[in-house]
Amino acid sequence: MQESNVSDIKREIQRYQKLSKLVVKLVPPNGDKDDFAQLASLTTDRIEGSNATKIQQTFQTQRKEGLNKDSDLVQNYITGAGLGYAELKFSGKDQNGDPLELDTNRHTPYTKDVPRDQTKNHQKISDSGRAGIVSIMEYRTKLRLGLSKKASENKHQ
């Protein structure tokens, strides 16, 4: 996920008057284990020992003020989503009391699960990476075309 997508998520979260629930799905990395350990206070060695490939955590509150969306915990998980280590689902209410839901998967231009027995297969990883680059370039092109179209429409109004 790109940094601009993290900014989009942070901007959308600011719409929440009350954040009542955050569901986090963590995906341990094959590579940079230090970033992941800082994110979740978990080490990939401990997780690998359990054979877990995904971890889910739920944070929720019944307090009137809701979860603190500016807390280190929430902001770390947003950053983790930006690094590709987490998928997030936010639930809450806007200032009018209307329900809001945000799933960060809609901000992810490309994901690819690689079977555990293939994580050392350099050809499989390389092929998935190339497919991901093509997918991300298509996604960025669609975004640019959409922005160009909006700008053009705004000029003609």
- Cα 94-86-109 angle, rounded to 5 deg: 85
Mean pLDDT of 71-82: 85
The rounded percent of the chain whose pLDDT value lies above 90 is 22
SS3 for 71? coil
pLDDT 10s digits, 83-104:
777 889 999 999 999 999 999 8
Residue 90: C-alpha distances to residues 9, 31, 66, 128, 134 (Å): 10, 27, 12, 29, 29
- Beta-carbon contacts of residue 84 (< 8 Å; ≥ 6 apart): 1, 27, 29, 111
Cα–Cα distance between 99 and 5 in angstroms, integer?
Answer: 22
**Average pLDDT over all residues of the chain:** 78
Predicted confidence (pLDDT) at residue 2 exceeds the cutoff of 50: no
Q: Which of 94-103's residues contact partners 24+ apart within 8 Å by CB, and which partners?
A: 94/15, 94/16, 94/17, 95/17, 97/17, 100/15, 100/16, 102/9, 102/12, 102/13
- Cα 60-63-68 angle, rounded to 5 deg: 65
